Every structure is written in C-alpha cells, then in structure tokens.
A = this chain, B = another copy of it.
Amino acid sequence: MRSVSIVGIGQIPVQKQNPASLRQMGATAVLQAMDDAGIDKVDALFAGNMIGDELQGQKHLATLVADEAGLTGIEALQVRAATATGAAALRMAYLAVASEEADLAIAIGVEKMSSGPATPALAKALDAEKEVAVGANLISKNAELMQLYIERYHMPADGLVNFAVNAHNNALANENALFRKAVTPEEVSNSRIIYPPIRLLDCSPVCDGAAAVVLAPTSEARAFTSTPVHILASSVATDHFRIADRKDPLMLAGGRLSALRAARRANINRNDVSFFEVHDAFSIMACLLLESTGYARRGEGWRLAAEQRIWPEGDIPIATMGGLKARGHPIGATALYQTCEIVLQLTEKAGANQIKNPKIGLLQSVGGAASTVLTHIFGN
C-alpha cells in the first residue's frame, strides 16, 4: 500500500452556537485546509457528521459540503462511527489515498449540536432496542463505568479531577477552543452531579465545530508543504456492542486491540509516543483508554492524572490543546480537530501549547460506549 501524509489542516473555532449553517461551516474548514496545502481541488472528500440527519434534516452531507466548497464533480461520501465519526472520515480518506483511488483526499468533520436536543440524538450511539429503550444514554453509560471503577479500585472521590484541570489549562492558549478558562480541582470536585457519580466538569460540552485535513501520498507530500505529517497507522476495532455483554467492562477491548494493530502497522511501542490525543468525552473514558493502551496498569489510570503525568511536560501528555473537555467535542468534527492539533504539535507550530520535541502522536476515538474504537498514529 501507498504511504499517506497530511499536507494541510483547517479548523474553525469551536463555539456554543455557530451562526453559520452546517454546509457553510463544513465548506469553511475544507477551504481552509486546501488553502493550507496550496491546492484548489481534491479528488475525494469524506465527511463525518453524527446528528445532522436529525438536527439539520440532512442525510446527504458530503456532497452538499463539496458543492458549497466549489468542488462539484469530485467523489464525496459520508461516514459514521457514532461518536468516533470524525476518525472514520480520516480513515476513509486514508484508504482512498493508500489504495491509489485518490491522489488528494480531504477528511472533514462537521457538527452543529446547537440546533436541537443533542442528548437523545447522541444516545443513538447505543443499542436502540436493548439500551436506549430502557432509558440509557451516553452519560448514564459512562456513569456506569465510573461507578464500577470506583467500586473495584477504591479510587478516591477526586481521583479524576485533574483530567479536566489539565484540559482546561491546555485550552487557554488554543484560539479554537470553546473554553479558554482554567478550572481548579475544587471547582471540578464541587461541580454539580449530572448523573451519579459523573459531575458537570467530568463531561465534554455540546457545541458546534468543523475541521478538515488534506491527505496526499507521502511520496508527493513535500510538493504541498515543507512540513508534512506522516500517517504511520490507521486502525479500527470493535468490541461487544453493549457494555453488558463484555467480560470485563473496564477493559476497553476496542481501544486495546485497535492500538495494538496500529502499533504493529507503525512498528512502534507505547514508549515511542510523545503525546496522546485521547477521547476524553468523559474523564472516566480518558482514564480507561490510558489503561487499555497500557500507559497505566489496570486501576491506575487515574493516578497518571492525579500525579500530573498527563501534563504537557509529563510522561504522557494528553489533550495538549484542550481535549474534548475544553476545546470542545463537536462529535463528527472532533477527531479532525485532534488531527489538526497533532499536526501542529508534530510540526512545532503549537505555540504556547508546544510540547517538547515531539516525534510521534497517538489519536484514539471512541464510538458509543467504546463499541468501536479507532486508533491513528502520526509521525513527523
């Protein structure tokens, strides 16, 4: 297969409510990424969007965004993996270039969650018949995991607070972040209970956003930029769909398996990774991913936060530009924001957020209650 690199990025500021339409937001990110790559056309566009079918009544989005961006005629398809949808768009664009079906492909994610009630739409990431029908949603499922974690490992009540503290600190200098405001451990601990034991500041926010990246063959990448970023691996793994069907709900098999497949493909081990853009939609999910990928032993993921080892200068920096928690989590766009941030880090353009001498960035994206997990590995 053909090696693939990122040669352009585009992201618009995450907002509580963006006045632009879904197509306009998407086209803006697309054109920005193409401008960054110095190109005015691509062969293919893969769009990620999770809830626009309901909130904006749009089930044919990729072509709509392509047309709005002036790219009429190109290939355009939409992809979905629930809350990991942005990563699915990245993977599809990767496959298109790797297979030689496209020379230049764009992965774009866009989500406009402000148009209507997001929580019931997001719950459709779960099993409609067996979970949603009995009242479950993504918050309750993450609460279930957190409660189980507390009970099994006797984690202190404030064990996870530093996930939010780190994310908010890192968002301060990110001009595309929704929350550019630090939070203290006390503020996290004292924030209101949303669904026990999850508190408000354990959760990523509902918001609007769009981000895009341009992919090209590595063999041509320097024609578009002096700082291409190599996609070392792209992988997907599923688990039993429902938490209830898993032998051990606290081991995210999709996270472990997709990370292992990606590491084999990239021929790296976890110690080679400079930073980890983790799926911190909820603090407990970040904690479990750190364990599933082997950065912490079972039951000790929270300690990486408590001991500040996830800080930018720590052993394994996470959410280096604010993460889902503070940059925001506009679902279908999220993994593309993360990819843009990884590109900024690896090309030493992350400004005040720059981590020291990064070589390899890891990205994980979680669909639903970790039923589907995508892992991407990037190198400079």
A88–B80 Cα distance when bound, in Å, is 12
Range for the number of chain A residues in contact with chain B: 35 or more
Given contact pairs A21-B129, A58-B124, A129-B21, A77 touches B76 in the complex (Cβ within 8 A): no
Q: Is the CB of A372 within 8 A of B63?
A: yes
Q: How far is the CB of A347 from chain B (nearest CB, A)?
A: 25
Given A67-B238, A73-B238, A235-B75: A125 touches B95 (CB 8 Å cut-off):
no
Contact check: which of B71, B75, B81 meets A62 at CB < 8 Å? B81
A101 at the interface (CB under 8 A from B): yes
* Interfacial chain B residues near A64, Cβ < 8 Å: 127, 241, 371
CA distance A371 to B71 in the complex (A): 12
Residues of B within 8 A of A66 (CB): 238
Q: A81 to B73, Cβ gap below 8 A?
A: no
Count identical subunits in the complex.
2
Cα separation A53 to B57 with both chains bound (whole Å): 12
Task: Tell me whether B73 and A253 are in contact (CB under 8 A).
Answer: yes
Residue of chain B at shortest CB distance from A61? B80
Q: Does A296 contact B (CB under 8 A)?
A: no
Residues of B within 8 A of A81 (CB): 60, 62-63, 76-78
Q: Min CB distance, A352 to chain B, in Å?
A: 36
Determine whether A98 belongs to the interface, using a CB cutoff of 8 Å to chain B.
yes
Chain A 96-126: CB-based contact to B (< 8 A → 1; otherwise 0): 1011110000000000000000000100111
Contact in complex: A79, B80 (CB < 8 Å): yes
Interface residue? A234 (CB, 8 A): yes
A sample of 24 cross-chain residue pairs with beta-carbon separation below 8 angstroms, ordered by A number, consists of A1-B99, A1-B101, A2-B99, A51-B59, A57-B124, A59-B125, A60-B126, A60-B368, A62-B80, A63-B81, A63-B238, A63-B371, A64-B371, A66-B238, A73-B239, A73-B257, A76-B372, A77-B80, A77-B88, A77-B91, A77-B372, A78-B79, A79-B80, A95-B96
Select which of B73, B78, B80 is within 8 A of A237 by beta carbon.
B73
Residues of chain B with a CB closer than 8 A to A234's CB: 101
A251 interfacial by beta-carbon distance below 8 Å: no
| Complex alpha-carbon distance, A163 and B237, angstroms | 44
Judging by beta carbons under 8 Å apart, are A56 and B128 in contact?
Answer: yes
Q: How far is the CB of A172 from chain B (nearest CB, A)?
A: 33
